[in-house]
Amino acid sequence: MARNYTLHTATAAAPRIDYQAELNEQQYAAVTAPPGQTLVIAGAGSGKTRTLTYRVAWLLDNGVLPEQILLLTFTNKAAREMLERVASLVTADTTRMWGGTFHSIGNKFLRWNAERLGYRKGFSIMDREDQKDLMETVINSSGIDTAGFKFPKPEVIGDIFSLADNTCTSVEEILKTRYPYFEKIAEQIVRIRKLYQDKKVETNCMDFDDLLTQSVRLLKEHEDLRERYQRQFEFVLVDEYQDTNSLQCEFVEMITGRDGNLMVVGDDAQSIYSWRGADVGNILQFHEYWPRATVHKIEVNYRSVPEVLSLANASIANNKSQIQKQLQPAREAKGQLPALVPLDSGSAQAQFIAQRILELQDEGTELNEIAILYRAHFHSMEIQMELTARGIPFQITSGLRFFEQAHVKDVAAFMKFAINRRDEVSFMRMVKLIPGVGGASALKLWNAWLKTDASQADVMTGKFSDLLIPMSVPKKARETWDQFAYTLDELIIDGVPQPPPAMIRSIYEGVYEEYMKSKFKNAEQRQQDLEQLSNYSSRFTDPLEFLSQLSLLSGVDTDNKPDAQPEDRDAVTLTTAHQAKGLEWHTVFAVWMADGMFPHARAVEESDAGLEEERRLFYVTITRAKDELYLTYPLINHQARDGDILMRPSRFITELSMDLMEKWNVRSGW
């Protein structure tokens, strides 16, 4: 028979915080919830971080020791900001609290206990570059023939392993569902995984994912450690629970214990990261593992005007798999409904957005209070061009400017060299795409090329594939070089350069498609970029004119890279909807709101779950707007290959009542 006995700390000073005055009724109920398991559903703009911060302060004010609290977040910045806020609220010594990302907490566990798993003290943590180098060593020493098939680069293999770890599934399953074009070499990839795992132990190194996988293994295999940490962490709190993957969920369960005190805060309506392993089921089925959990809903939104919230509520209500909630506005109505703006074309869409931004600026809205959100990065291409033409400063947080991306520059290198056979920079970039060709080999090839008559002639005579340059190509690269040469032949026929769209299609289908799949984990997104580049190129008949325009657009404002820009720079923000989560602006333009674009065509084809995640992404997009929201889409989408395609508005718009929106009829005028 066992008896429970509780130690009480010395009576603390009276709390400095008037919790009821500082919090609304829903927040107060969550912050002061009794011990046990608690699920807090915090809607968009409802003060989620404030609630979690005050919960920690409440625990400390009620005698819980700082070292008994574990706060798990998704970024170190979030943990740091919350802990600093807590420190300003209470008198307790918050430096003794455990707060940080899942991986940083895992690192602490492993620093003290890694020897139990076969590692030695002082193990190294590899960054992405280190991981790539070690993987390369493993592949090269594995005896596996990587020349006969476009074998995935070490970075891609690393992403495959990472996804398997974080979703707690097998490599074979990841290949089947995410990388079907590598299924034929599944056996070799699985073998590399085993060799890679062994090599990490041998070299006393861990990669980023090991910090969590090995921590879970540690807790599973060693009951004494599991019980020790469960006793230490009297209260476990988890931020953004809707974004957890299977591995993180398992870590929470192991560190809390079935009877532990757990509070998770999140919003199922903002779960948008399944593509990187997040599982919305962790929050939707929370009660399956924690049947005694109580639920608190925080639904008062302090961000957006009621007109925006009405649209958001109506949209997310169409999802079947969700925890029901209704955002309530704290702000008064402004009288301006979200605008639905169909435009004639992608170009007209860009013109409307640029013109409206200038009008908003004249009305007193700062440029850094305006954002343009899109489903995919390539949706921003024409908008970038229009903003550049009108001198409207912008910063891109979803990646590089469209024309500065590696895959765009790779394709352009083929075109540049085909037209200008003395372009050494483009030649070197092009041949370095060939497996086995590095800097020295590329220079050797260039010198061999300069000795040919074709390199000196004003007009290309003969064919690239007939030249003697292959003699300088490394043996293992010969087959690929031949394909490169045949592709170059297709770019210039009878001495005449082909139209830009035909050139891009030949490069992509001839050599670049396979290269992208083996090199990039987001090959499909990059393919869409190249399709958009081809569509844009159809405006030009002369490839030289097209390439000149590309260079001019790439060179604009190059001293203002996103990573070098101060956050308060007065510039419009361009970003994907995924990366906009957690942010807010006075005015939001949600662009390319057409079926097949948003929602993404692939999600529509796949499953109800995929479509519901797209709707959650739409919900995240529109709830970024504080005051004004514009939903735009082109009626016609010009495709280089298929011609003009009639676009339909997104089903996320057509399923809503038009009473929630105001349709703008835009006409061209002087």
* Nearest-5° Cα angle at 497, 496 to 503: 145
What is the spatial distance between Cα 181 and Cα 663, in angstroms, rounded to a whole number?
Answer: 44
Task: Say which DSSP state 564 is in.
Answer: G
**Spacing of C-alpha 516 from chain mean position:** 18
Residues annotated in the binding site for ATP, as ranges?
Answer: 42-49
Quick check: 623 and 45 in contact, CB under 8 A? yes
Residue with structure tokens 């009951």?
223
Task: Say which DSSP state 542 is in.
Answer: -
Which of 375, 404, 354 minimizes the C-alpha distance to 613?
375
Residues annotated in the binding site, as ranges?
Answer: 42-49
Task: Say which DSSP state 12 is in.
Answer: P
- H-run or E-run covering 484: helix 478-491
Residue with structure tokens 């070490």?
154
Burial class (CB in 10 A: 0-12, 13-18, 19+), 499: middle
What is the spatial distance between Cα 71 and Cα 248, in angstroms, rounded to a whole number?
Answer: 13
What is the spatial distance between Cα 216 and Cα 250, in angstroms, rounded to a whole number?
Answer: 7
Structure tokens at 214: 């090995």
Residue with structure tokens 């500082």?
22
Please, where are the H alpha helices in 290-423?
306-316, 346-362, 381-389, 406-419
Between the CA of residue 237 and those of 133, 322, 479, 655, what are the distances in Å?
Answer: 37, 22, 56, 37
Between the CA of residue 650 and those of 173, 276, 308, 618, 656, what are the distances in Å?
Answer: 32, 25, 17, 10, 10
* Nearest-5° Cα angle at 16, 15 to 21: 100
What is the spatial distance between Cα 460 and Cα 446, in angstroms, rounded to a whole number?
Answer: 17
To the nearest 10 degrees (0 to 180), the angle between helices 500-507 and 406-419 is 120
Q: Rounded to the nearest 10 degrees, how much is the dihedral formed by the CA atoms of 542, 543, 548, 552?
A: 110
**Which residues on adjacent β-strands are paired with residue 645?**
637
What is the rounded end-to-end Cα distance, in angstroms, of the chain?
A: 89
* Nearest-5° Cα angle at 411, 375 to 136: 85
